[in-house]
Amino acid sequence: MPKELSGEDVQAVRAKIGAAATALYAAKGVDAITIRDIAKKLGRSPMGLYRYFADREDIIAFVRTDAFNRFSDALEAAFASGGDAFARARAVGRAYVDFALGNPNAYRLMFDMSPPNEARHRDLRRAGERAGETITRHVKDLAAAGIVHGDPQLIGNALWAASHGVIVLHLAGRLPHGMDVHDLYFETMRLTFRGARTLSTRAQQPRRRKALSQS
According to DSSP, the residues that pair with 197 across neighbouring strands are 148
pLDDT at 205 exceeding the cut of 80? no
pLDDT at 191 exceeding the cut of 70? yes
pLDDT at 77 exceeding the cut of 90? yes
Distances (CA, A) of 89 to 104, 133, 138, 142, 212: 22, 14, 6, 8, 7
Q: pLDDT at position 119, please?
A: 78
Cα-Cα-Cα-Cα torsion 53, 56, 62, 64, nearest 10 degrees, comes to 180
The more confidently predicted of residues 201 and 129 is 129
pLDDT at 215 exceeding the cut of 80? no
> Coil, strand, or helix at residue 178?
coil
What is the rounded distance in angstroms from the CA atom of residue 177 to the CA atom of residue 166? 14
Mean pLDDT of 59-73: 96
Complete domains list, the chain, with CATH: 1-53 (1.10.10), 61-208 (1.10.357.10)
User: Confidence band (pLDDT; 50, 70, 90) for 169?
Assistant: very high
Which percentage of the chain shows pLDDT scores above 90?
82
What is the rounded distance in angstroms from the CA atom of residue 120 to the CA atom of residue 117? 5
CB contact at 8 A, 49 and 35: yes
User: Confidence band (pLDDT; 50, 70, 90) for 88?
Assistant: very high
User: Confidence band (pLDDT; 50, 70, 90) for 5?
Assistant: low
pLDDT digits (tens, 9 = 90+) for 126-148: 999 999 999 999 999 999 999 99
pLDDT at 13 exceeding the cut of 90? yes
Q: Which residues contact 209 (CB under 8 A, 6 or more apart)?
A: 190
DSSP 175: S
Q: pLDDT at position 131, please?
A: 95
Distances (CA, A) of 39 to 1, 13, 52, 63, 130: 20, 12, 12, 16, 31
| pTM, entire model | 0.86
What is the rounded distance in angstroms from the CA atom of residue 82 to the CA atom of residue 131? 19
pLDDT at 123 exceeding the cut of 80? yes
pLDDT at 200 exceeding the cut of 70? no
Q: How many CA atoms lie within 13 A of 52 on its CB side?
A: 28
Q: pLDDT at position 2, please?
A: 54
CB contact at 8 A, 86 and 143: no
